[in-house]
Amino acid sequence: MNSPMTVLVTGGAGYVGSHCVAELLDRGAKVIVLDNLRQGHRAAVPAEAAFVEADLADTDALKRVFAEWRFDAVFHFAALSLVGESMRDPHLYLHGNTVNSLNLIRATVEAGVRKMVFSSTANLFGTPERLPIDEDTAIDPGSPYGESKFFIERALHWADRCHGLRSACLRYFNAAGAHPNGLLGEDHHPETHLIPLVLDAAAGKRSHIEIFGDDYPTPDGTCVRDYIHVCDLADAHLRVLDALETRSVRYNLGNGTGYSVRQVIEAVERVTGLKVPVKVGPRRAGDPAVLIASSERIRTELGWNPRFPDLDSIIGGAWAWRSRNPNGYRGPATAQAAE
């Protein structure tokens, strides 16, 4: 019998990382999570996973982790990821995200680990000239955050060329939804993602949701985005491991369907049965009208297909988790998690 694979997951206490940890554990892997808990939650890491509280800036801590376990692969989620914050403090992102990732890449190479899966972003493409956005779309990051992710993609390219570290750069569009097991969901502080913010407005935790501009060249005038279920992202992470046996890969990961801000609000009202108070404000600088992914390449090459493509079921899962955990990971759940 093959021994189980051992995977280091940086940022595994965060939103996407914790869902990937669950997927890895489901498939019998041994998982070690490294997270500084600045944004993540200890309660999002199941007891079956080992947990190391450490920062990627701490190279001694990294050395200890790589000395203690022998990893088959590294999943790298840990990063700062607020676009607006990166516009106010570009150094924090251009330096912090990049140097932390370089530390991790070096430790990975030195330990002789051959596979890394990296969380990249649709922000790599800024305001693209054509849609949908595929892997051949010109890279022109929309923020210092996106630029930091591009630096890291380039560092991984050279780590492959020079050291044979195979990597998968997965450019996520908007991660959304919650794990069907009811134990994991989205709990960011501050929250900047549309679906949890609209759910909060529906639940009366926020006075209203502000629409940033309704005069875009889209059917209802509001911005259109591609929402991908967080478990579909997790599935893609597992699938790319096979591809990494032979080559490095880059994939854009989205649903391939766009929904406008107004469509998201309507879907939240449909799913929750609650009214969402709305105010229309001015456009935000740098917001493209439409961002929709083409994920044809990963569909064709690896047979990946979103299992939860429908907006109402994505929102339904997020609503179920928020209803059971009104204080996120910080407070007691209101009811038993789903079986």
Ligand X SMILES: NC(=O)c1ccc[n+]([C@@H]2O[C@H](COP(=O)([O-])OP(=O)(O)OC[C@H]3O[C@@H](n4cnc5c(N)ncnc54)[C@H](O)[C@@H]3O)[C@@H](O)[C@H]2O)c1
Q: Of 8, 9, 14, 264, which lies in the binding site for ligand X, with binding defined by CB under 6 A?
A: 14
Residue with tokens 């639940």: 203
Nearest CA among 91, 36, 27, 45 for reference residue 234: 27
Locate 86 and state its tokens. 């990166």
Question: Taking the complex as a whole, how short is the minimal distance between the CB of residue 193 and ligand X, in angstroms?
Answer: 6
Q: Which of residues 174 and 272 has its CB atom nearest to ligand X in the complex?
A: 174
Q: Which of residues 177 and 182 has its CB atom nearest to ligand X in the complex?
A: 177
Alpha carbons 35 and 27: distance in angstroms, whole number:
22
Q: Where are the beta strands (DSSP E) in 149-213?
A: 166-172, 174-176, 209-212
- Interaction between residue 172 and ligand X (CB under 6 A): yes
Q: Which amino acid is at 60?
A: D
Alpha carbons 325 and 337: distance in angstroms, whole number:
10
Question: Taking the complex as a whole, how short is the minimal distance between the CB of residue 17 and ligand X, in angstroms?
Answer: 5
Nearest CA among 195, 180, 205, 210 for reference residue 321: 180
- Interaction between residue 107 and ligand X (CB under 6 A): no
- Interaction between residue 302 and ligand X (CB under 6 A): no
- Interaction between residue 79 and ligand X (CB under 6 A): yes
Alpha carbons 88 and 93: distance in angstroms, whole number:
10
Question: Taking the complex as a whole, how short is the minimal distance between the CB of residue 12 and ligand X, in angstroms?
Answer: 7
Nearest CA among 176, 183, 179, 123 for reference residue 309: 176
Q: Identify the active-site residue in 15, 93, 145, 216.
A: 145
Q: Which stretch binds ligand X (CB under 6 A): 29-37, 154-162, 275-283, 318-326?
A: 29-37
Using only the alpha carbons of the chain, give its radius of gyration. Answer: 19
Cα torsion through 12, 17, 21, 22, rounded to 10: 130
Q: Which stretch binds ligand X (CB under 6 A): 37-45, 152-160, 194-202, 239-247?
A: 37-45
DSSP letter at 335? S
113, 47 contact by CB (below 8 A): no
Question: Taking the complex as a whole, how short is the minimal distance between the CB of residue 10 and ligand X, in angstroms?
Answer: 6
Residue span 115-154 as binding mask against ligand X, x where in contact by CB under 6 A, dash where not:
----x-x---------------------------------
Q: Which of residues 174 and 207 has its CB atom nearest to ligand X in the complex?
A: 174
DSSP states of 3-38 as a string?
PPPEEEEETTTSHHHHHHHHHHHHTT-EEEEEE--S
Question: Taking the complex as a whole, how short is the minimal distance between the CB of residue 36 and ligand X, in angstroms?
Answer: 4
Q: Which stretch binds ligand X (CB under 6 A): 8-16, 154-162, 263-271, 299-307?
A: 8-16
Alpha carbons 115 and 107: distance in angstroms, whole number:
12
142, 83 contact by CB (below 8 A): yes
Alpha carbons 180 and 203: distance in angstroms, whole number:
21
- Applying CB under 6 A, the site for ligand X has a residue count of 27
DSSP letter at 151? H
Q: Which of residues 221 and 297 has its CB atom nearest to ligand X in the complex?
A: 297
Q: Is 145 a catalytic residue?
A: yes
Q: Which of residues 47 and 162 has its CB atom nearest to ligand X in the complex?
A: 47
Terminus-to-terminus CA distance in the chain, angstroms?
Answer: 30
Q: Which of residues 177 and 316 has its CB atom nearest to ligand X in the complex?
A: 177
Q: Which of residues 123 and 222 has its CB atom nearest to ligand X in the complex?
A: 123
Q: Which stretch binds ligand X (CB under 6 A): 171-179, 216-224, 255-263, 304-312?
A: 171-179
253, 172 contact by CB (below 8 A): yes
Residue span 179-208 as binding mask against ligand X, x where in contact by CB under 6 A, dash where not:
---------x--------------------
- Interaction between residue 81 and ligand X (CB under 6 A): yes
Residues labelled as active-site residues: 145
What residue ranges bind ligand X (CB under 6 A)?
10-11, 13-17, 35-40, 55-57, 77-79, 81, 100, 119, 121, 172, 174-175, 188
